[in-house]
Structure 1
């Protein structure tokens, strides 16, 4: 401003500061599984005219939200229970305020596959070929058997059957006629797409002699008629194990 009386002139200046409001962006919505943290990739922008503060806060949700650092735009947050949460990023430059929201979908941790061997009964005697039944609710599965060691452990597992879909019924067939007598472990295991694995164990006793072993075979090769009597020529063959 300038003032003049034709003889003297005086002036003074006034500085006018134009403040642009800040801009807040809470980032994309996020989906997590407990107990994982949610990464909040927020951002803020301001003209720098005044001091800018940034704050994260919970708007809604069924449980408690804990922000690792609530005063920076990019941070992480933990959640006490599953559910849908809305969180807000607020930017304040003392003259203007801006905010933006993000939705966090929080799920319970997935459960590993549920597996069970339902037949034959655990500890039962198996003397003839028998169906092995069981159930798998998800994942790729494998049914195996192994002869137990003297201490009850088993390590030389042989695959009996495999599958990639849920099943409930006959999984495979165990033939004891080709096995040594003894106690055998049955193991059904499954692994899902999250690499979670479950297994179920059972045991059977293979016994008795319904298997390939010693035998003798007798048959008639030739029968002839003589003048006075009939005679039969026979032969036998055998093997032993």
Structure 2
């Protein structure tokens, strides 16, 4: 039944999203299967919001952390969220936590939340892609559980265009509200709370005349209380930013690692931090691996990936930082060999060059080139791109040859 039909056949009691009915009725309500973005939006955030209005914070709620992220099949990792955020997403993998046979998100369903704070590069890249397209997001009225056990009760769907995000410290996603949307035949207007109450119809009262006439009987609907959505405290994982990537040229220096970690204070208000080595050619020594700001020394040059993990005792999150510990790149040192005198009866001369390099950059691939600078004739090189080659001269005279090396 469309929103217009519903308004013609029944009178509804007051509901948290009733002010949205006039807006939603103007939106198309085609019954389609939607590709959804895993961002849950609270119905109160859209209450009385006109179409084309920017909402500063979609990730709203009573606590900090990633309040509002969804997981379709229960996965809690950052790569899982990044895959779901990357258009067109993977909402077709949804599994209803109350009905394993249900794989289509509809009004009335529950969708699980993800507790991991996902400020990973993969999530940020996915959000950048999502900002280029129009997204459809689920709208909820009640959240239950905590941490990875959080679930959201879906009451509608909305079309949005993401405009900005601030994950490391603000944990905020901004978007323009484009209107309501229907998925799989669900009504456009969100209707959390009590169901609609049918208006009693008029009854006919016969008169004493031979031609009976119908006299409507006035009926006053009995008002009902409007339920207010309530929230249980939901423990969210900490928000971790391991700091900016760094390039260090002093191989003996202690590298300062500066991170930012925030948390909602649940469940106990205690955070545990730990720095660890993910990859690199050598070992790393942390001055204090349990501190957000600490020093790190490295056993040898190279490219290192370090990870900072934060745990509140129930949920954990991490972020990685890249440390490039390499000296400044110097040009190769080239020796084309000693000057030579070729007897007049000979026209071919062997050339033996020598090249030394510092190994920088990391992807260092040396290239060589012999060339003629001057001379009365022409010089032909056997293998001009090798340090050792032969040169053949077209006529006698004094020639200058050059060997060039590049990293």
TM over 0.5: no
User: What TM-score bracket applies, with the shorter chain setting the length?
Assistant: 0.3 to 0.5
TM-score normalised over the length of structure 1: 0.38
Q: Which has the higher strand share?
A: 1
TM-score normalised over the length of structure 2: 0.23
Q: Which has the higher helix share?
A: 2
- Flag the structure with larger Rg: 1
